[in-house]
Amino acid sequence: MNRESLKEGSVNNHIIGYCSDKQQEKLTRKIQGRKKTIKNGKFICEVIDIGYKTVARRGKKTARGENIDHVIVSICAGRIGNADIWVKWEHNKLILGREIFGRVPLFWTCTKDVIWFSSQLQLLLQILDKWEIYLPSLYSYCCFSYITNPLMPVEGVFSVIAGQEIVFSLDNHFNEAGNIPPKINSPQVRTTYQWRENPEKITDETVAIYQLQNLLKNAIENQVQDLNHEPVGVFLSGGLDSSIVAALLVESGVKVRAYALDFGEFGTSEYPYAQKVAEFLNIPLVKVDVSPKNIKKAIIPTVKALDLPFGDGVTVPLYLINQIASQETQIVFNGEGGDQLFAGWTNKPLIAAGVYQNQYSQHPENASFIQQYLHTFHRLWGYESKVYQAETYDQIRQLNAQEWLLDALDSHFCPSLLHRLRRANLMLKGSQNIHPRATAISFANGLNVRSPFCDLALAEWTFQLSGELCLQGACEKYILKRAVENWLPAEIVWRQKRGMGVPLTSWCLNDLWYDLGNWLNPGILGEENIFYPDIGIKVITGKLGGNIHGRRIGEILWLLIMWQLWYTHVFGVNPTATSSKKSSNHPFLLPYWLWKGYRKFTENLMESLPV
């Protein structure tokens, strides 16, 4: 493995530690930071706190306001408020905990008689002697564009699921002769919180508007009380959620500077909407150039910053916007979480199409509910035989991706359709994808990130809403729009949501075309024995599947690219060892237009030949 690559990534605001009956000198030998040591009977717990100087306050409470007693160390992504992860030691138990929104990850592994834990996978890899890819995690990534909890890409390493604690019981008993060693018992999982539908529903629109306005203001107030005159950044997409955050920050008297992505001539730009919001609120707006040149420059730093593989095309643009913001502020706000809380636009077409049958809750054996939810990710689920080489496919075909969704889509916690979807989106797309990647990228740029929609009082309130207040006719997030319609321009509040138009297909088929020959090189793919060597060309030519066309081409290529770069730069496959396997037998050496014309010519020629 390429250990040098593990040392290059930024590790701001991270922790790593262990619990054992013996001191592990390799921790302090390999990793620098503030050390904290605690002893309990025969056991010792040491934690290295990295980047602690950039974190003014560490949370000592959960999102529910409960004290975290006996805390050894904790991290709060926003530098204020409640802990996002914590490590505590009480009653001969080591407890690793993570809050329900999942903004900061927490990983653990056991080696012999040592429990290792860290907020970053790359830190754990520096401690482990060897590691291997855990194949189910690869399959999960290809199905969802991220790895579903508790799976991890490295075999033997695990993740604490959001809203849970992992409890290790430490047996300190030993006889007088001292020949009975202390023992670490198997970990127990303890659920600390569940997203759950409230049987008492709010149906009165006027009441809902009044309550929601107060909850939104309180959510912002909780996150600005430590600010004096320091400026803060807000990532402004021009969409509803980030615009609400910007408006409330301005109303609270905070000095705000907005940042917006500009894709230039590529794709559909949301920048003009961000500009309208900034002008309306009278705040400065910084345009962040998301050109293919800048994407290429930032892609590997992004992969290292993310730590885990994330295949969504928005990640590198997010790295660029964080990078620019870090030059002017230490704190940034975003609008992440609004779609999950208020049944955003991704739910609407599914409900309208009638794919979520009411009968599912009475007949769990009907798999259509989960299958249709899987289809909403638009990745490689269902294409397995065309994606993976034979040896890998033989192992993957035994797996069932639907099992990773069962808990999130459990009707026991949310009987009604809309709230069940909201629960699933909070648990899957929120806590396992959107929030941890936002935190990882901000941390890598030395920023503290605050997400006002990750407010438990606000989130719990949304589970009281009647379905009509969330989705009224074709209008999604209805009650949120009604609550803020006087705070922002009507064009921003009531426009149809389109999502961030990252022009992945355009990038891949133009400016990044030659790079595909390196990132998805057939020789290297063949040697790795995971994906078919020609998978890139199959995606581009439509031979992988008829549903992969237009924007989906770029999304699938990006999914594969980010895995390959993660495999090299985080997992640590030696690039020197694989470079000798590179093949030049691929079309990426030619300009795309020339290869496309040649391909069309040969196809026409073959069709004209007599049978």
Q: What is the pLDDT of residues 570-609, one digit of tens each?
A: 998 765 556 668 898 899 999 998 998 888 888 777 777 7
Among the ranges 14-23, 426-435, 547-556, which has the highest mean pLDDT value? 426-435
| Last residue in a domain, options 474, 494, 514 | 494
Residues 226 and 248 in one domain: yes
Number of domains the chain contains: 3
- Per mean pLDDT, which range of 2-6, 260-264, 316-320, 370-374 is the poorest? 2-6
Concatenating the DSSP letter of every residue in 599-611 gives HHHHHHHHHHS--
Q: Which range marks the domain in which residue 576 is found?
A: 504-608
Residues 181 and 261 in one domain: no
Whether 318 maps to a domain, the answer reads yes
Mean pLDDT of the chain: 87
| Last residue in a domain, options 461, 494, 527 | 494
To the nearest 10°, the Cα dihedral for 404, 409, 413, 417?
Answer: 180
Distance in Å from the first CA to the final CA of the chain: 52
In sign, the C-alpha dihedral spanning 213, 217, 218, 223 is positive
Higher-confidence position of 607 and 373: 373
Residues 176 and 322 in one domain: no
Calpha distance 90→99 (Å, rounded): 19
Model confidence at 463: pLDDT above 90:
yes
| Last residue in a domain, options 191, 213, 229 | 191
* CATH code of the domain in which 350 resides: 3.40.50.620
* Per-residue confidence band for 345, with pLDDT thresholds at 50, 70 and 90: low
Residues 508 and 470 in one domain: no
Helix or strand run (H / E) with residue 128: none
Q: List the beta strands (DSSP E) in 263-343.
A: 285-289, 331-333
Query: Quick count: other Cβ atoms within 10 Å of Cβ 155?
Result: 14
Whether 196 maps to a domain, the answer reads no
Residues 602 and 541 in one domain: yes
* Per-residue confidence band for 379, with pLDDT thresholds at 50, 70 and 90: very high
Whether 499 maps to a domain, the answer reads no
Helix or strand run (H / E) with residue 527: helix 522-528
pLDDT score of 392: 96
Rg of the Cα trace of the chain? 25
Calpha distance 351→98 (Å, rounded): 32
Q: Give percent of the chain with pLDDT exceeding 70.
A: 87
* Per-residue confidence band for 400, with pLDDT thresholds at 50, 70 and 90: very high
The number of helices, as runs of H, and strands, as runs of E, in the chain is: 26, 17
Residues 302 and 375 in one domain: yes
Query: Quick count: other Cβ atoms within 10 Å of Cβ 372?
Result: 16
Q: Give percent of the chain with pLDDT exceeding 90.
A: 64
* CATH code of the domain in which 97 resides: 3.60.20
Residues 337 and 222 in one domain: yes
pLDDT score of 62: 57
Read off the pLDDT of residues 113-169 as tens digits, 9 standing for 90 and up. Answer: 899 999 999 999 998 888 899 999 999 999 999 999 889 999 999 999 999 999 998
Whether 125 maps to a domain, the answer reads yes
Task: Report which residue type is found at 364.
Answer: P
- Per mean pLDDT, which range of 167-171, 199-203, 243-247, 601-605 is the poorest? 601-605
pTM: 0.91
Read off the pLDDT of residues 251-305 as tens digits, 9 standing for 90 and up. Answer: 999 999 999 999 988 767 789 999 999 999 999 999 999 999 999 999 999 999 9
Whether 53 maps to a domain, the answer reads yes
Whether 304 maps to a domain, the answer reads yes
Higher-confidence position of 183 and 468: 468
Residues 225 and 371 in one domain: yes
Whether 197 maps to a domain, the answer reads no
Residues 360 and 227 in one domain: yes
Q: How far apart, in Å, are the Cα atoms of 76 and each of 7, 230, 459? A: 24, 19, 19
CB 416 within 8 A of CB 24: no
Q: Burial code of 454-487, b = ≥16 C-beta within 10 A, e = fewer?
A: bbbebbbbbbbbbeebbbeeeebbbbbbbbbeeb
Collapsing DSSP to helix, strand or coil, 327 comes out as coil
Pairing mode of beta strands 93-98, 85-90: antiparallel
Residues 272 and 321 in one domain: yes
* Per-residue confidence band for 351, with pLDDT thresholds at 50, 70 and 90: low
pLDDT score of 53: 45
Whether 462 maps to a domain, the answer reads yes
Calpha distance 535→33 (Å, rounded): 43
Residues 165 and 269 in one domain: no
DSSP at 43: E
- Per mean pLDDT, which range of 69-78, 148-157, 227-236, 496-505 is the poorest? 496-505
Residues 186 and 280 in one domain: no
Read off the pLDDT of residues 519-529 as tens digits, 9 standing for 90 and up. Answer: 999 999 999 99
> Closest Cα to residue 564, out of 528, 597, 534, 540?
528
Read off the pLDDT of residues 547-567 as tens digits, 9 standing for 90 and up. Answer: 888 899 999 999 999 999 999
